[in-house]
Amino acid sequence: MRFVLVDRFLSVEPGRGATALKTFRPEDPVFADHFPGLPVVPGVLLTEAMGQTAGWALATRLGPDLFPLLMMVERAKFRRFVRPGEEIRLEADLEEARGSVWAARTRAWVGAERVAEARLVFHAVPRPSGSAAFDDWMSGILRETGLGRLLEAAVSSATE
């Protein structure tokens, strides 16, 4: 099972924040047990999707030698159930760092309705050096979600 909970990035402001989309499909295996006859997206998966959006935005600020790992979820609120097939817009705004600890204010929306929010705290750790598997994984995520293309465009416009 792939654990990529962002389908596509809509925008990224390197080092400041990002907006992404995720739609959980009705046939996703999680809905067999969560819950039969009443399928809802688990709150932990919504939190992870917000975390991945924030984490990739933070990775643009950390540079090539560091990688963000989620270490704390604060003030999480789930305002309503999200059903399979609903498109979720994920937003993350980065806050200033304290040493190697960063935080992000995250929100999840279905249409104009906010369905979840949390303040997520990350620790910047050294990126594995010489790990082809890690590098391949990162390249795949950047390609599959469109984040790589958005970052290239942001860098290009910043240098013009």
Catalytic residues: 34
CA distance 41 to 76: 15
Burial 16-51 (b: 16+ CB within 10 A, else e): ebbbbbbebeeeeeebeeeeeeebbbbbebbbbbbb
Instruction: Give the span between the Cα atoms of 31 and 14, in whole angstroms.
Output: 35
Please check whether residue 77 is in contact with residue 118, taking contact to mean a CB–CB distance below 8 angstroms. Answer: yes
Asked if 94 and 58 count as a contact pair (C-beta separation under 8 A), the reply is: yes
